[in-house]
Amino acid sequence: MPKLLIVTDAWRPQINGVVRSIENLVRELEQFDIKIDILSPAEFFTVPLPGYPEIRLALTTPWRVARRIEASAPDFIQIATEGPLGLLARRAALKRGGFTSSYHTRFPEYVSARFPIPESWLYSFMRWFHNAGLGCMVATESLRKELEAKGFSNLHIWSRGVNTELFHPGYPAPLDLAKPVFLHVGRMAVEKNVETFLAMDLPGSKLVVGDGPMLEDFRARYPDATFTGAKSGEELAALYAMGDVFVFPSLTDTFGLVVLEAMASGVPVAAYPVTGPKDIIAGSAAGVVDTDLRKAALACLDLSGDAARARALDFSWAACAQQFLEATYESYGNTR
């Protein structure tokens, strides 16, 4: 049975797209008789990331990470993040035959939003990190083209899926809010551009689900919006289902799992025409992408929730796992 080691700086109890993507990948790969090992900060002493106390950074040594990888003896190594563990695993993996990686996060844009560091410097680091691998997995075709133009190589598509049994329109509304309900789910942080949504003049109600460093600031400055904090499972699914329009204001996500979850819940999506939404929504009746996000949000009121869910049904985690496997074997030059 082939063994895959996934190295990730993002892991439980964090709630984000990277963690959920890996969790769903692991569950599906087990159906393909792939043995999975996870190397995460849970095995090491950690410190909180400044500004994001829920994100813990591993403090360890190159020797300890190399020894852990050798003890795992994987056939394939996938490095999911460019953090401390990812960097140490990259060094060790290059000495034992290579690795594949994933481009989950627009690290250059996120850092530049907080510190005066040129994106060009940060993209140089990202190219150095990913181009040393046997292959780099990206979620969409538009992101692949964008990164190729920036000098990234050996790029493979690994899309994302959605649990359409959990996320569906059939839940009773858990809150009594004026209609229409404009919904957003995500991290309350500067790079997510949530304030653009909060500042928009829209009818009805705004419902915001998620935690993050800016949550209390948003609550104080936008008292007319309803903030629930982070939710999960059926509680989250029920909040999705009460939305009339899902507003996705991010300009920096590489995919946007929440877009699929909203669509599966029968909620049309308003978004900017950027990587992720334009790959998922454009050309369908599942939502509207427009440089004027308010215009897109209001236009979604005329769309069918059935069409949104129908589009979400095109995305399955089983198909994503198959894509991941094919990209892994191709990168390593193996045949199944």
pLDDT band at 334, cuts 50/70/90? low
Q: How far apart are the first and last CA of the chain?
A: 11
Say if residues 272 and 313 touch (Cβ distance below 8 Å). no
Dihedral sign for Cα 285, 287, 289, 293, please. Answer: positive
* Mean per-residue pLDDT over the chain, rounded: 94
Say if residues 304 and 134 touch (Cβ distance below 8 Å). no
pLDDT band at 336, cuts 50/70/90? very low
Looking at the whole model, is its pTM more than 0.85? yes
Q: Give the class (CATH, top level) of 3-161+316-332.
A: alpha beta
Say if residues 36 and 30 touch (Cβ distance below 8 Å). yes
Fold held by 181-312: Rossmann fold (3.40.50)
Give percent above pLDDT 90 in the chain: 88
Q: For the segment 3-28, what is each residue's pLDDT rounded down to a tens digit?
A: 999 999 999 888 788 999 999 999 99
Q: For the segment 48-67, what is each residue's pLDDT rounded down to a tens digit?
A: 887 777 789 999 999 999 99
Q: What string of DSSP letters covers 277-313?
A: HHHHTTTSSSEEE-SSHHHHHHHHTTS-HHHHHHHHT
Asked if residue 335 has pLDDT above 50, the reply is: no
Domain with CATH 3.40.50.2000 in the chain: 3-161+316-332, 181-312
Q: What is the mean pLDDT of residues 181-187?
A: 97
Q: For the segment 241-283, what is each residue's pLDDT rounded down to a tens digit?
A: 999 999 999 999 999 999 999 999 999 999 999 999 999 997 8
Neighbours of 98 (CB within 10 A): 17
Q: What is the mean pLDDT of residues 179-192?
A: 95
Q: What is the mean pLDDT of residues 120-133?
A: 96
Helix (H, G, I), strand (E, B) or coil at 181: strand
- Give how far Cα 74 sits from Cα of 6, 44, 144, 156, 336, Å: 9, 20, 27, 21, 16
Q: What is the mean pLDDT of residues 176-199?
A: 96
